[in-house]
Each structure stands twice: as C-alpha cells, then as structure tokens.
Structure 1
Amino acid sequence: MTTRRALLVGAPTGLLAAQSAFAPSALAAAMGGSGSNVGALERMMVKTLAGELGDPTVARLLASHITEAGFRWDYPTFPARDADSVVAYSFGYRSATGKVDPDTGLSDGAETPEPGPVNTLLAQAAQAIAALRHVRVYAQWEIAQVLAEQHGMKDVVPIHPAKGPDGKTIYLSTDGVAKAVVAHAGSAQALGKVAVVGHRDHVKRCVLVSQANGMAAAAAREVPLPVQYDPQSAQPWTRRRDAYLLSDLIAQLSMTRNRVIAELSR
C-alpha cells in the first residue's frame, strides 16, 4: 500500500502498469472466494430478520438491500480504450481552516481551497485514460485544476459548485455532478461510453449515480483507483476509511429508499 509520504507527494509512476490491490477481482480473492461468503451472510440476515419481523418476504427484501449496499463493493468495468469520455468525481479537498459546514460540504472561510493529495491521484487516473485515448474529461474542479496545472490538459470541462437562489455557493453532491455533466454535454447519450474515475470506496456509487442519470458508465479496467485517505481533508467524512464507508453505505441505502418510494408513487 502507498505510504503516507507517497500519498503526500503523489502516486508512483507507471500507473497503468501497476496492479491495483483494490481491484474488484483482488477484493473478491481477499474475501475468500467469488461471493459465496456474502451469499451465506445474506441468507443468515434473512433468517434473523424473519424472526425479528415475523415477515419472511420483507426480511428477504431488506436483506437484499443491506447486502447490496454494505457487502458488495465491486463495480462494473470496461477497457479504457473503449471510453468516449471521462467523468471524474472528486474526493474531499483541503482548506486553510480545515473546517466545513456539514450541511454544505464547503469550507467556512473565504480562502481558496486546494485539491489535496487524493484528488491529485484521481487526476492521474483520469490522465492515464486520456493518454490511451483522446477523450473529453468532465471533472469536478479539484481534479480539473490538477489536470490543467500539472498535466497541461486542455480538453477538460471543470464542474464547479453551483449557486443557490440566495447567491450562496452549494457544493455539488455526486448526483449534482452527474447532472451538471449531462447538462454540459447536452445529453447523456452525447457522452458515449463513460469511464468513471472516483476514489476506490466511492466509485461504485459514482457508477450507479452516473447510470441513474442516463450514462453508459463503468470504470476503466486497467486504471487503478486510489484507496488512500487524507487526514487533512476539509471534509471530515473523507479523512478516514470507516467514516467514509459509513457515509457511502447510508447514501446507497438512501438511493434504494428513494427508488422504492418512487415505485410506490407511480
């Protein structure tokens, strides 16, 4: 795993040649098989919930939702050379104060925030795809800034925070970024096959949200994604892995809840 020093100065060279210890296949192997353990866990949850709720049907539904959100962290991929565009989602950032409004995700000062080391690694992943195939990159500003300043990339569409009706800045959620990308492109279809770049623990949801917004999205198979965390990130939920995974688990379950309610509202 990359050391703290490597995290602060950037990723190792030879990004495409590197074998990611956190690729989906490696993750499955580390768990001891092809998902059979997860299946056994889901069956145990069904049995336990059925006993607690007295309703086997609801138990199966809940166990399925919980298993998908909390115990399956792999994500779809395709060859990087098949990409028609790249959508890169940032992961935290740094600010001089190191403090953010928990409701907006924005720093509370007037200082100019910095991308930080994790977004530098995400920019390297986006650049690696673009080096294989000339594609337009849509990236949150933290990644777009690194692509422009460190990689000299010009065909990059930066996605900046939005302005609310009151003129205040609103930090975009993952869904907000996806919607902004589609608006810039004119349609999801105009993006073609989208290679999604995101932090290893965020990318599954990035792909799901991209797909929910109409994109033909998956991650680039050959490009490792960072799993490092920045303890100096301005956003506390991106400083440590357990804190972020809890946040992502809640976000995935919220997506499932919204889908279920939407189905009931038809």
Structure 2
Amino acid sequence: MTTRAAIAGLGMTEMGKVYGRSATDLAVDAISRAAADAGLSLADVDGLYVNPGIKNDTDLRLQSTLGMRNTRVLATIQGFGSSAGQMVQMAAMAVEAGMAEVVACVYADAPLTEGKRAGAAYPGQARAMTGVGSLPFAAGLKAAPERYAVATRRHMHAYGTTSEQLGAVAVAARQWAQLNPAAQMRDPMTLEDHQSSRMIADPLRLLDCCLVSNGAVAVIVTSAERAATLAQPPCTCGAGARATRAT
C-alpha cells in the first residue's frame, strides 16, 4: 500500500445497551453518518465491505437497503478481531487499483437482548459437541475470555509480560473512550482499578475484557486526492498487514 488512499469520513451510532434496532438499521445509520461526515452522499458510494457481526445479521443485501445502484466492489469480510483493519486495507487497495472510487466499510451488530445477560449473545457456546471438537469445551475453553487467557499466559511465559502491562493497555483504551461521546464505558479507570478487578479467566481480569455491545461503526475510504477536497482532514492509509494462523 501507498498513501494514495485515505479515510475521509467516520460514522458511529450509539454503543452499548441499545435496544429496538436491528444490525441492518444500525449499519445504514453508521454509513449515512460516515458519508455525511466526509461531505458525500450515499449516491457517491460505489463500494461496500461488510462484517457480519456475531450473529451474522448484516450481509451483502445491505447494498439494496442503501439503494446502491452502481456498486463496483462488494464483499463480506470476516477476520474476527482483525476485520476492521482488513476492510480498510481491502478498500484502500480497491481505490488504488481503480476498482472503486468511494468505499464504505461497516461493522454493525445487535447481539444484546433486553433482559438477557451478555453471554446469551453467543448461543453456540452451549451446544452439545462430540469428538475432537468437544476437547476445548471439556478443558473449560467455553468462551472468548478462557481462550484468550491461554494465549495471554503463553505470551507471559515467552516474553515476561505482566498483568500490570496488560492493565496499562486497558487504562489507555479507557482514556480514549473518555474522548468518545458514543463509547459505552467512559468512567475513569486507573491501574489500581484494573489490578483490583476480579479474575475472569486467569490471568485476565474483568477490566481486561471488552463488552458485548449493540451498535455500528463505518468509515469512508477514497483516493487521497479526492479526500483532500472533502469536509474532513484525511487520514491517509500508509500501510497494512495481516496474518492467518491455522488452528
């Protein structure tokens, strides 16, 4: 990648316990906000990358919902935790290659149900499994915290990483959240708060874990040249990288 592509607009809905809205509704809202933030209309968007979210409620039919008539690139991107970066990378590459001029990248999800705990957002966790596929569950690796705890412990063993260093990451993330009026958690957090929070899956504490949220975020990617003429200062896409690990 070079600096010939740029993020020109950002759209975010309210995040967290937002009920009564579908993932598709949230996606349309976020993309509309992102286009408006860039000073563009939805008619200017000719590319769309979509992440389906936890419940796979958002798919390529979003193109029709948005009323897109001249779509040049369209795809679902599922890279789990790296999906956002992958979408921006793919969009930048499409713009640089001349495949599209204005690409919207969106993540939208609405897994939370009013009156139900967040764990209910992962219905597949409780299903009966047999054979080799049952081994992680038998070992107690039933949800994301337990699985990431194993990777975290390995990182500690290999590199000497400490819980306090993990806490510094959580504190920094909360400091950024305090600057975002749409963030779900904006209360101040200290390293002492992190260290005193209860253990969820050793060595991960409560304040190491992210929240399940309803909401959507979208960005608009276009050429750096065009972005320079739009409403917001552009954020150029200088580089991108990703890796895939076999499991």
- With normalisation by structure 1, the TM-score equals 0.25
Q: In proportion to residue count, which structure has more helix?
A: 1
- With normalisation by structure 2, the TM-score equals 0.27
